[in-house]
Amino acid sequence: MKSKKAPTLNQRIRSDIESRILSGEWEPGYRIPFEHELMEQYGCSRMTVNKVLTTLAESGMIERRRRAGSFVARQPPHLEHVALEIPDIAVSVIQRGHAYGFQLLEHAHRKARAGQAEELALVGAGKLLAMRCLHLADGKPLALERRLINPEAVPETLEVDFSVQPPGSWLLQNVSWTRGEHRISAVAATAEEAALLQVPAGTACLTIDRQTWRGEQPITWVRQKFLGDAYDLIARFAPGNR
Residues near DNA (CB under 7 A)? 5, 8-10, 34-36, 43-48, 50, 53-54, 57, 64-70
> Which lies closer to a copy of itself via its Cβ, residue 33 or residue 239?
239
Q: Is 117 in the site for a copy of itself (CB under 8 A)?
A: no
With beta carbons less than 8 A apart as the criterion, state whether 57 and 240 touch.
Answer: no
Choose the one of a copy of itself, DNA, none that binds residue 34, judging by a C-beta under 5 to 8 angstroms depending on kind.
Answer: DNA
146 to 102, 124, 129, 214, 225: CA distances (angstroms): 13, 18, 11, 20, 9
Question: Does position 214 bind a copy of itself by CB under 8 A?
Answer: yes
237, interface contact from a copy of itself, DNA, none, CB < 5-8 Å by kind? a copy of itself
Please state, in angstroms and as integers, the Cα–Cα distance from residue 103 to each residue in 36, 145, 167, 183, 197, following that order: 64, 10, 11, 24, 12
DSSP state of 8: P
Q: What does R_g of the chain's alpha carbons equal in angstroms? A: 25
Q: Which helix (H) or strand (E) holds 58?
A: helix 46-58
Of the candidate residues 205, 220, 222, 224, the single one contacting a copy of itself (CB under 8 A) = 205
For residue 100, the SS3 value is strand
Nearest to DNA of 40, 192 (CB atom): 40
CB 77 within 8 A of CB 242: yes
Shortest separation between residue 1's beta carbon and a copy of itself, angstroms: 27
Among 15, 178, 190, 198, binds a copy of itself (CB under 8 A): 178
- Please list every residue from 158 through 177 that binds a copy of itself, using CB under 8 A: 172, 176-177
The residues binding a copy of itself (CB under 8 A) are: 22-24, 28, 47, 74-76, 79-88, 172, 176-188, 202-207, 214-215, 226, 228-229, 231-239, 241-242
